[in-house]
Amino acid sequence: MPTEELNQFDIDRTRGDFRYDVQYQYDAGTGLTHQTIDYIVDAKGEPDWIRDWRHKALDVFLSKPMPTHWASKDLENIVFDNIRYYLAGGQKPSRSWEDVPEDMKRTFERLGIPEQERKFLAGVEAQFDSEAVYSNIKKAVGEQGVIFVGSTDGLKNHPEIFRKWFGKVIPTGDNKFSALNSAVFSGGSFIYVPPGVKVKHPLQAYFRINAENFGQFERTLIIADEGSEVMYMEGCTAPKFETATLHSAVVELVALKGAKIQYVTVQNWSPNVFNLVTKRAIAHEEAEVKWIDCNIGSRLTMKYPGVVLKGRKARGEVISIALANDGQHQDTGAKMIHAADETTSNIVSKSISIGKGRATYRGLVHVPKHLKGCKNNTECDALLINSTARTDTYPAITVRGTGNACQHEASVSQISAEQIFYMQQRGLTEAQAMSLSVNGFVNDLVRQFPMEYSVELKRLIDLEMEGSVG
Amino acid sequence: MSSLKIQDLHVRIGEKEIIRGLTLEIPKGEVHAIMGPNGSGKSTLSKAIGGHPDYTITSGDVLLDGVSILGMEPDERARQGLFLAFQYPMEIPGVSNANFLRAALNSRQSEGEEIEAVDFYEHLYEEMDKLEMRREFTSRAVNEGFSGGEKKRNEILQMAMLKPKYAILDETDSGLDIDALKIVSAGVNAQRGPNIGCLVITHYQRLLDYIVPDVVHVMVDGRIVRNGPKELALELEEKGYDFIKDALAEPVSA
Amino acid sequence: MSTVLLEEEMTDTPAAPARLLSAGPAAPGQEAAWEQFTKIPLPTRTDERWRFANVKDLDLSPYLQPQPVDETTREELLARSRGLEKAAGRMVFANDQLLSREVLSESLTRLGVVWLPLEQALVEYPDLLQQYFMREEAILGGQKFAALHASQVRTGMLLFVPRGIEIDLPVEAFHWLHGANSSCFPHTLIIAEERAKVTVVDYYESADTNAPGLACAVNDLWLGAGAQVTYVCAQNWSREALAFQINATVVGRDAQARSLFAQLGGRHVRSESVSHLRGPGGRSDMLALTVADNAQEVDARTFQIHEAPNTSSDLLYKNSLDDAARTIFSGLIRVDPGAQMTDAYQKVRNLLLSDDAEANSAPGLEIEADNVRCTHGATSGQIEQEELFYLMSRGISKRAAQKLIVNGFLQEVIERLDQPEIGARLAEMVQAKFAAHR
């Protein structure tokens, strides 16, 4: 395969590890008060209903304790007062690449964003710190009535659809960080796919943190109307900063009757990012929602994509890969809430812990009573490399009644010395042998990613494995 | 110079000495057999030559075409032309046979060069046909869920693809029925020639009916105690290892 | 005032039993535990170790301190203490009072074997108790109830089996709870020294199967190098009882522990069981079977802690749930750093027989060593229609067919015990529970 093609989706950290000094027109300063909220609303020129909504969310955020009674104590190291909650250049998202300010353009060009768009994507939204700087959707898709804009644009210009679903899948008070996002969100995507429209190519968003001590709080809302289909892909990076940086997104998906949504994430945060994301979908009758999630990098990631299976025969799926290297904690998992008959859910999670890395799986499966014909299947496999690595699995399964079946299986294994010796005897170096084994471990899941992403994923894994031998 | 030469080798696992002064030379073009009772150290010998980290070589040397390989990592030894056919080949979940072999072949190319996919498959299918292996085998994970016979065939296929200078076949006959044994032996015999030296390690004479050795060595307690022509294997089969042990006076060297 | 006192002293009727919560410690020496008990708050919903549990059900205020039983009751309960056909010895307690102690096999009188009620052991073997009595902290959420037990325990069984001694037949103990709202605090302490071997069966029973009551039991097993201990606890408290049981099993080098908890009775049962695999080569088999019906809640928490390399643990918990029963299984396997070559398994299976039944499973793993084999699995399902149909097509009624299938489901646990006589006794108790089910 020509190398040019490989680089197409290049989001490895060495490539992402650069930043430019950018002149921000808007900067909400550090710390979070009700004044910060007003500053954000004024800067963005938002309507009053959202101002009230944000203020209420801030109160909820301040009143909620940290979830450290079950989650990592590392959360206590987030100093909310040191974080900058809103940074933006002040321009509207450009429709054309040429209009994007020079310094931001350089950043995204280094990351290969416009190239990708030209190649095959139906639309791209690129977010630089708080705001989208570039947003485009292929003409053909726009003509089908597909809306693909930033969240601000969505709430201002499509209120009739936006308000109907916004905050309904993930209420403000769902958890402390969803409340935080609700108070200060900026950027993210708003997508509406009209009934019966099948978006052929994926829509893509790219999130980048450029400023130190910055918190990125994008908010994404996707509504797939009856019988429609859409695939959305997001990539995330940040350069290496000295101090911790916060990324706390909220993603809400609504799949109406018979609709299909696939949401693909490949994140490769630098190792000081706290990545605390709430993602949930509602699947109506016969709808299908599939989360495909790959978590590499960050200091602490907490993310448990969920599906509320609200309509009969709805189907939810979470496919996730987590790779925890030295000093990283990937605390990921899935939630499946069965709320209608004959709903099915499937969770496949694979994690790799390297060096002093820690991978945790947390799962929640809930089948309330008087439902019939519900099925859940969960598989969690953990691979440990190095005796200092750690892995945890904490599923919680509640099943009521006689019409349903749930099954959970988990295993922990390691790459044995004998396996490595065998491969070395055939001429592979230890690092090659490790990489091949790890890729083999995740192979069946990687195949579920879009082709371009799976190539990139393999490369990312190779890169992570390089330092882990010896 | 063109030989695999083992000189007065001593090998320990932990505190226990398993190989206790073993000397042996396999010239290129020849097939040697090592026979010995269980626990004589036969398998230790192959792993130690391969560079397995659990085996400590306390003294002696192993020379491949005159160059000592003892300071090399296992993969360097392999790239120098050493091949081990394992008694218990490892399963590698998720890694397909084709990808594995390609990675192994690419590791032998110079920096930045890779085997062309078309050439690779052409060559692979040719060798697989010789071993009567089905095409679907290429996409299966290495040795995963393979029967004993399939695993051994896979070892011989890898040997054919990697074209080693010296091959050590460790108990290749174990776990094989007679049909599988014939196929595997035919595979090995097809590779015999002036450019390869083979060391066949076995407990039973049966294998040597099919892979006929030039020289037979008998190993007891970590040393070579008898050398002889192929007929020695028959004698052993008939009289059992006890006769060697009983007759054992002083160790000899090859 | 003095006349009242005088009357009480003169009559044979005892004073009204004290409420447990205002009773204070059972005896001097238990004050510290009492103080601890009063200091620790009741569990709340947000405590992860009580996740899923109905914590509102844990009110201790109705319960009374245990009172000695009268002679008639004593005779009756002794008659009802039907154990195994062959046992090495049997103790019977009622309301924390020793009713009888019978040595049935001379293996119990072998040199060095100590088999005594706790209060006597405290006098004769203070060092043993000092060394082993409740030395492992309750770490699964039940500290308050462990402290309550420590402050109230009056008797129980101490069994010390010295080096190399094997006791051929099982040793049994019956604990009876008698009287409305009475409480009791059964204690079993088994210490098996190097290569010692013993099997112990505890039976927990209520005199009146409908009387409310509180039982708060502790059973600790200590296994020296190469020791083999099998422990069975057949819990059959009244259907209105609130019950706690806290177990710690400490497994030394190459030792083998096997425990089985049969949960049949109780309104709300909380069981905590911890295996410490402390010596290389140690193994612990942790088994449980639950037959829950009506509004029973059976809440089982387990912990397999691999502290040393080359250890193995294998847990199998099976729950059958009928009516509006709830079960909770929350188990954790932890492999400490350095505990390489660990083999750890954990399996929970829930069979739901009713639309109102609810099974909660939270099987967990925490692995900090890389050369390990750990798997866990949890399934929840119901009787396969096909299976039921097959049996019914042979003329078996639906109800009988269901029972057969549930029995078969639980049988796997009983068989893993590998003690046919005890297994048969347990199967009988399961049958009795089914028979009593309305």
pLDDT digits (tens, 9 = 90+) for C147-161: 999 999 999 999 999
Q: How far is C51 from chain A (nearest CA, A)?
A: 10
The reported pLDDT for the residue numbered A13 is 45
| Residue A63 to residue A42: CA distance in whole angstroms | 25
Q: What are C351's strand-pairing partners?
A: C320, C381
Sort out which chain C residues have CB atoms less than 8 A from A389's CB and list them. Answer: 368, 370
Beta strand spans in A153-286 (E): 189-193, 203-208, 215-216, 219-224, 229-237, 245-247, 250-255, 260-269, 273-283
The reported pLDDT for the residue numbered A210 is 67
Residues B124 and B212 in one domain: no
Tokens matching residue A180: 């935080």
The reported pLDDT for the residue numbered A1 is 31
Beta strand spans in A284-327 (E): 288-297, 300-303, 306-309, 315-324
Q: Which of A426, A439, A444 is the closest to B78 by Cβ?
A: A426
Distances (CA, A) of A238 to A231, A247, A295, A464: 24, 10, 14, 16
Q: How confident is the model at residue B106 (pLDDT cuts 50, 70, 90)?
A: confident
Of A15-19, B153-157, C356-360, where does mean pLDDT reach its minimum? Answer: A15-19
The reported pLDDT for the residue numbered C302 is 98
Do the Cβ atoms of C380 and A411 come within 8 Å? no
Name the residue range of residue C147's domain.
16-382
CB contacts < 8 A (A, C): 133
Best residue in C293, C351, C370, C388 for a mutation probing chain A (most A CBs within 10 Å): C370
Distances (CA, A) of C89 to C93, C171, C172: 14, 5, 6
Model confidence pLDDT, tens digit, residues A406-416: 999 998 888 87
Q: Which of B90, B95, B99 is the closest to A418 by Cβ?
A: B90
| Residue C379 to residue C117: CA distance in whole angstroms | 42
Residue C51 three-state SS: coil
| Residue B162 to residue A130: CA distance in whole angstroms | 55
Sort out which chain A residues have CB atoms less than 8 A from B52's CB and list them. Answer: 421
* Interface residues of chain A, partner chain B, Cβ below 8 Å: 416-419, 421-430, 432-433, 436-437, 439-444
The reported pLDDT for the residue numbered B53 is 84
Find the Cα–Cα–Cα–Cα dihedral C99, C105, C106, C112, rounded to 10°.
Answer: -60
B contact chains, 3+ CB pairs < 8 A: A
Percent of chain C topping pLDDT 90 = 79
Q: Which of C239, C241, C196 is nearest to C217 (CA)?
A: C241
Q: What is the mean pLDDT of residues B178-193?
A: 91
Burial of residue A386, with CB atoms counted within 10 A of its CB: 0-12 exposed, 13-18 middle, 19 or more buried: middle
Tokens matching residue C433: 């529970």
The reported pLDDT for the residue numbered A3 is 32
Is there a domain that residue B245 lies in? yes
Q: How confident is the model at residue C13 (pLDDT cuts 50, 70, 90)?
A: low
Q: Which of B217, B205, B90 is nearest to B154 (CA)?
A: B90
Residues B175 and B67 in one domain: yes
What is the separation of C-alpha B69 from the centre of its chain, rounded to a whole number of angstroms?
16
The reported pLDDT for the residue numbered A107 is 64
Model confidence pLDDT, tens digit, residues A255-287: 999 999 999 998 888 888 899 999 999 999 999
| Residue A61 to residue A53: CA distance in whole angstroms | 12
Q: Which of B86, B91, B104 is the closest to A428 by Cβ?
A: B104
The DSSP output letter for A75 is G
Name the residue range of residue B103's domain.
91-145
Of A4-13, A139-148, B10-19, B146-155, where does mean pLDDT reach its minimum? Answer: A4-13
Tokens matching residue C135: 């030395």
Q: How far is A295 from chain C (nearest CA, A)?
A: 20
The reported pLDDT for the residue numbered A119 is 59
CATH of residue B26's domain is 3.40.50.300
Q: How confident is the model at residue A192 (pLDDT cuts 50, 70, 90)?
A: very high
The reported pLDDT for the residue numbered C62 is 96
Is there a domain that residue B96 lies in? yes
Is there a domain that residue C427 lies in? no
| Residue A232 to residue A123: CA distance in whole angstroms | 10
Is there a domain that residue C430 lies in? no
Q: Which of B83, B86, B95 is the closest to A440 by Cβ?
A: B95
Distances (CA, A) of B245 to A242, B44, B221, B224, B226: 70, 20, 10, 12, 10
**Identity (one letter) of the amino acid at B160?**
A
Tokens matching residue A103: 């310094």
Residue A62 CB partners (closer than 8 Å, separation 6+): none
> In chain C, what is the greatest distance between 2 CA atoms, to the nearest angstrom?
77
**Identity (one letter) of the amino acid at C310?**
N
Do the Cβ atoms of A397 and C47 come within 8 Å? no
Sort out which chain A residues have CB atoms less than 8 A from B73's CB and list them. Answer: 424, 429-430
Residue C52 three-state SS: coil
Do the Cβ atoms of A422 and B83 come within 8 Å? no
The reported pLDDT for the residue numbered B254 is 45
Domain count, chain C: 1
Provide the phi-psi class of C156: left if phi over 0, else alpha when psi is between -120 and 50, else beta.
Answer: left
Q: Which of C46, C51, C382 is the closest to A402 by Cβ?
A: C382
Q: What is the mean pLDDT of residues A56-84?
A: 92
Task: Flag whether pLDDT at C265 surpasses 90.
Answer: yes
Residues B138 and B215 in one domain: no
| Residue A231 to residue C54: CA distance in whole angstroms | 42
Residue in the structure block whose two tokens are 């490369």: A459
Asked whether C303 and C271 are in contact (CB, 8 A), the reply is no
The DSSP output letter for A380 is E
Q: What is the mean pLDDT of residues A154-173?
A: 95
The DSSP output letter for A352 is E
| Helix, strand, coil tally for chain A in percent (to 5) | 30, 35, 35
Residue C235 three-state SS: strand
Chain B touches chain A, with at least 3 Cβ pairs below 8 Å, answer yes
Beta strand spans in C107-265 (E): 114-117, 157-161, 171-177, 182-184, 187-192, 197-206, 213-223, 228-236, 241-251, 256-263
Residues within 8 A of A (CB atoms), B 69-98 only: 73-75, 77-79, 82-84, 86, 89-95
Is there a domain that residue B210 lies in? yes
- Domain ranges (residues) in chain A: 3-303, 417-470
Q: How far is A20 from chain B (nearest CA, A)?
A: 34
Segment holding C379, helix H or strand E: strand C372-381
Task: Flag whether pLDDT at B63 surpasses 60.
Answer: yes
Domain count, chain B: 2
| Residue C258 to residue C223: CA distance in whole angstroms | 11
Q: What sign results for the dihedral spanned by CA atoms A152, A157, A158, A162?
A: positive
Residue predicted with more confidence, A315 or A203: A315
Q: Which of A397, A401, A411 is the closest to C374 by Cβ?
A: A411
Is there a domain that residue C408 lies in? no
What is the separation of C-alpha C40 from the centre of its chain, rounded to a whole number of angstroms?
23
Asked whether C241 and C295 are in contact (CB, 8 A), the reply is no
Residue A178 three-state SS: helix
The DSSP output letter for A84 is B
Chain B touches chain C, with at least 3 Cβ pairs below 8 Å, answer no
Q: Which of B170, B243, B233 is nearest to B206 (CA)?
A: B233
Residue A142 three-state SS: helix
| Residue A271 to residue A239: CA distance in whole angstroms | 9
Model confidence pLDDT, tens digit, residues B196-247: 999 999 988 889 999 999 999 999 999 999 999 998 888 888 887 777 776 6
The DSSP result for B163-184, as a single string, is: --SEEEEESTTTT--HHHHHHH
Tokens matching residue C232: 């069975």
The reported pLDDT for the residue numbered A4 is 33
Task: Flag whether pLDDT at C239 surpasses 70.
Answer: yes
